[in-house]
Amino acid sequence: MQLKKVVAALGAAAAMTTGIMAGSTSAAAAPGCPSLYVVAIPGTWETGHDKAPGPGMLAGVTNGLPRNTDVDYVTYAATAFPWEGDVYGQSKKQAVDAARGLITDKLAACGGTDIALVGYSQGADAAGDLAAEIGTGVSKIAPGKVKAVGLISDPRRSPTDVQVGPIAQGAGAGGARPGGFGWISDRVRTICAVDDLYCATATDDFVTRFAGFLAQSSDANPANLWRYQIEAGAIMNDLMAHGGVPTLQAQLSETANQQRAKDLERFYRSQAHTLYGSYSVGGGQTAITWMHNWIAQQA
């Protein structure tokens, strides 16, 4: 009899642990609540505090989703440079905080509703950070509530993230997220055009990687000091493995800087960062149509 009680107690504890880790799925959405709530975060300059929330690149993803789906767009500074008012790190933090608030409010009103996150460019950076926060258990939002996370041109793409379409080399210019997406890794999909330098920076391009790190750390948040140390350490370790300081000096030479200027000019002319509406990922689908169909399947 005592053994049966112990087994029962262990079973209850296991069930409770599973519920905490997976964020046990709720019952069907209540009347008046959507089955799926999609929070979309536009890219740099696609929105702003003086603009109404606009879909931008993500319009094709969110338009025409099933009727049992609600969509909200995040408004944030969406700036990148200090002279615009908010540095990149502060702008992205606004997006993360706003998206988190939208989701928290929706779940408070509609406990049976599931969540999808989608973002483009800086918006993908923010959506990915919030997804990582949820997936690693830092957030109060249960991982089990997240059905899908779609990231288009994520500046923090990791080589281990599940890519859709042609496989882009390297990683995002801002460096991979320490800890990844945790318990929701299987529900995250990323799309990066092979020539998009924002999400496909070569491992040995240390100038770009350091620039990306400086942009990511520009919010100067003491709470993120541990993350900055890990990310800076990763760049330094790779640099040492590729020849150390002389390698960095060579990449900063006048000749190298001239070549980098030409490469950047070629990149901007190619519009690789802005052509996801026509970028083929196979099966007759573009990046945008694939993401739309995938999100629709979760509703």
For residue 264, being part of any structural domain is answered with no
pLDDT at residue 27 above 70?
no
Cα 257 from Cα 263, distance rounded (Å): 10
pLDDT at 10: 34
For residue 172, being part of any structural domain is answered with yes
pLDDT at 238: 81
Region at 244 (left for phi over 0; alpha for psi -120 to 50; beta for the rest): left
Of 148, 121, 152, 120, which Cα lies nearest the Cα of 134?
Answer: 148
Cα 12 from Cα 16, distance rounded (Å): 6
CATH number at residue 87: 3.40.50.1820
For residue 21, being part of any structural domain is answered with no
* CA angle 74–71–274, rounded 5-degree value: 60
Q: Residue 264, SS3?
A: helix
Cα 126 from Cα 150, distance rounded (Å): 12
Tell me the two tokens of residue 230. Answer: 């890990």
pLDDT tens string 106-124? 999 999 999 999 999 999 9
Q: What is the pTM of this model?
A: 0.83
Cα 256 from Cα 250, distance rounded (Å): 7
The terminus-to-terminus CA distance of the chain in angstroms comes to 46
The rounded Cα 287 to chain-centroid distance in angstroms is: 15
Cα 96 from Cα 174, distance rounded (Å): 16
Pick from 39-43, 99-103, 249-253, 287-291: least confident: 249-253
What mean pLDDT comes out for the span 254-269?
83
What mean pLDDT comes out for the span 63-76?
95
pLDDT at 18: 36
The rounded Cα 100 to chain-centroid distance in angstroms is: 13
pLDDT at residue 4 above 50?
no
For residue 123, being part of any structural domain is answered with yes
Cα 39 from Cα 72, distance rounded (Å): 5
pLDDT at 13: 37
pLDDT at 237: 84
- Domain of residue 285, residue span: 29-202+272-297
For residue 78, being part of any structural domain is answered with yes
Domain count, the chain: 1
What mean pLDDT comes out for the span 24-46?
82
For residue 87, being part of any structural domain is answered with yes
pLDDT at residue 24 above 50?
no
pLDDT band at 261 (very low <50, low <70, confident <90, very high): confident
Higher pLDDT, 232 or 197: 197
For residue 234, being part of any structural domain is answered with no
pLDDT band at 53 (very low <50, low <70, confident <90, very high): low
Contact 172, 199 (CB under 8 A): yes
Whole-number average pLDDT of the chain: 85
Higher pLDDT, 197 or 82: 197
For residue 223, being part of any structural domain is answered with no
